[in-house]
């Protein structure tokens, strides 16, 4: 999939569809970059689909099946490769994947900057720079609270990272501090000033004053047991209503819709929902795994998170980040999830404390700040040339390389 159109791109974003997070980050950056630079054309390219559509489809299927049925293997691979040398033979071989096509893409468009929201194309572009084939600035957006070696490449000009802890790890790995921009994971601009939407609650016959459990993260079938948790909550007769975003998981949607039809509590089952910020703003608790985008959207609105069935590997960095800061609850199984939800309803201070802990971690302007860093990369001296020839200082929302 390419969202570039036929025009020449001033900015090329290389992403991938392993989960929705990488693509969501790409769209958020595109939206803000176009707002800030209306004369720029920004193109988003699905890296694997661009180099080989069949390989992309096969790889995504294999990735999902591995997480469902062989998750410990994925976790082991992630751990073993955590400190791999960027110049190792295995990494160099990976960086050859699709190199000719990506080289041609960059030569065709001559972009001002290449942004990678997925690690593999970052290595390809870095190698092209290392071999002297291109000299385009390269920005890497790390989409989890992670400093995994897969994101680290010798010719990266800017790293956009989630939190100070990631910046510190990168510095320990030899990345110059001036290349690191702690903006938070770029999220949709709708989170900059969200407000509950009364129309949503009226449309779905929901009570804004009732404790609302929002369920997200089950769209790929990677968070099993959600329907059973909802059924147990329904049987307990708690003062609660449930909004479940089932995404593309039709089996989960059917199970929850069947439960909703006979339920004594309001249960609303929705598919993909673009305008999610008002729903999160109006909810009391989020039940989700630990995807980077979902985590930082919840942090933006200070919506307490009950972590459940986080994916091994990359999501565990997000889990540790939240728990270390007292910014989430964690359920190891269905029983714990039900009990923690019940306790949160009975004792409001539990979620109030989590919301307070989220405040210093919240970065609702992350996409805008990341765009500032990228614009600054294009014009390193932070000056722009206006159409009438006047030179004007660029206004960037930055405090050094930390954005608040």
Are residues 36 and 99 part of one domain? Answer: yes
Q: pLDDT tens digits, residue range 248-272?
A: 778 888 888 999 899 999 999 988 7
Cβ atoms < 10 Å from Cβ of 297: 26
The reported pLDDT for the residue numbered 268 is 94
Domain count, the chain: 2
The reported pLDDT for the residue numbered 195 is 82
15 falls within a domain: yes
140 falls within a domain: yes
**Tokens 């390269």 belong to which residue?**
138
CA distance 247 to 270: 7
Decide if pLDDT at 391 tops 90. Answer: no
Are residues 204 and 149 part of one domain? Answer: no
Read off the pLDDT of each residue in 333-340 and give the average, rounded to a whole number: 96
162 falls within a domain: yes
Are residues 349 and 384 part of one domain? Answer: no
Are residues 110 and 62 part of one domain? Answer: yes
- Give the pTM: 0.88
Are residues 381 and 324 part of one domain? Answer: no
404 falls within a domain: no
Tell me the residue range of the domain where 18 lies.
11-189+364-393
Judged by DSSP in three states, 330 sits in strand
DSSP 8-state assignment for residue 274 = S
Are residues 271 and 212 part of one domain? Answer: yes
Are residues 334 and 373 part of one domain? Answer: no
3 falls within a domain: no
312 token code pair: 């091994």
**Which of 251, 330, 337, 250 lies closest to 290 in space, CA to CA?**
330
What confidence category does residue 152 fall into, taking pLDDT thresholds of 50, 70 and 90? Answer: very high
CA–CA–CA angle 34, 277, 261 (5° rounding): 135
Decide if pLDDT at 110 tops 90. Answer: yes
CA distance 92 to 227: 44
Are residues 155 and 29 part of one domain? Answer: yes
Are residues 332 and 212 part of one domain? Answer: yes
204 falls within a domain: yes
401 falls within a domain: no
Are residues 312 and 286 part of one domain? Answer: yes
Q: pLDDT tens digits, residue range 212-257?
A: 999 997 555 556 788 899 999 999 989 999 999 887 778 888 888 9
Helix locations, 85-222, DSSP H? 89-95, 99-109, 119-130, 164-172, 198-203
Read off the pLDDT of each residue in 205-210 and give the average, rounded to a whole number: 93
**Tokens 């800061």 belong to which residue?**
325
CA distance 28 to 170: 24
CATH number, domain at 131?
3.40.50.2000
Are residues 258 and 153 part of one domain? Answer: no
Are residues 239 and 168 part of one domain? Answer: no
116 falls within a domain: yes
């Amino acid at each position: 999939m390419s969202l570039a159109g036929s025009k020449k791109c001033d900015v090329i974003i290389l992403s991938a569809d392993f989960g929705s997070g990488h693509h969501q980050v790409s769209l958020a950056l595109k939206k803000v970059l176009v707002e800030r630079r209306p004369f720029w054309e920004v193109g988003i390219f699905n890296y694997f689909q661009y180099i080989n559509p069949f390989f992309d489809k096969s790889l995504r299927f294999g990735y999902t099946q591995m997480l469902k049925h062989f998750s410990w293997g994925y976790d082991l691979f992630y751990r073993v490769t955590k400190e791999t040398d960027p110049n190792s033979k295995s990494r160099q071989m990976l960086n050859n994947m699709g190199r000719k096509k990506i080289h041609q893409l960059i030569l065709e468009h001559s972009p001002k900057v290449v942004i990678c929201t997925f690690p593999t194309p970052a290595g390809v572009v870095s190698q092209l720079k290392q071999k002297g084939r291109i000299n385009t600035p390269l920005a890497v957006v790390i989409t989890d609270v992670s400093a995994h070696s897969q994101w680290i490449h010798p010719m990266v000009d800017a790293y956009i990272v989630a939190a100070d802890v990631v910046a510190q790890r990168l510095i320990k790995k030899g990345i110059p501090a001036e290349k690191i921009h702690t903006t938070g994971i770029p999220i949709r601009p709708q989170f900059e000033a969200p407000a509950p939407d009364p129309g949503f609650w009226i449309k779905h016959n929901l009570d804004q004053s009732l404790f609302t459990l929002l369920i997200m993260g089950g769209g790929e079938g990677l968070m099993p047991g959600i329907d059973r948790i909802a059924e147990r909550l329904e049987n307990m007769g708690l003062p609660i209503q449930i909004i479940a975003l089932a995404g593309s998981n039709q089996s989960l949607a059917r199970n929850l819709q069947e439960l909703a039809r006979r339920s004594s509590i309001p249960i609303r089952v929705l598919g993909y929902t673009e305008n999610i910020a008002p729903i999160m703003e109006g909810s009391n608790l989020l039940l989700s795994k630990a995807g980077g985008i979902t985590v930082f959207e919840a942090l933006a609105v200070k919506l307490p998170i009950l972590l459940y069935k986080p994916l091994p590997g990359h999501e565990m960095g997000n889990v540790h980040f939240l728990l270390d800061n007292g910014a989430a609850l964690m359920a190891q199984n269905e029983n714990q999830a039900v009990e923690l939800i019940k306790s949160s309803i009975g004792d409001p201070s539990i979620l109030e404390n989590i919301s307070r802990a989220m405040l210093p971690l919240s970065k609702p302007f992350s996409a805008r700040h990341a765009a500032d860093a990228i614009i600054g990369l294009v014009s390193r001296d932070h000056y722009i040339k206006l159409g009438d020839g006047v030179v004007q200082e660029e206004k960037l929302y930055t405090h050094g390389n930390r954005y608040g």
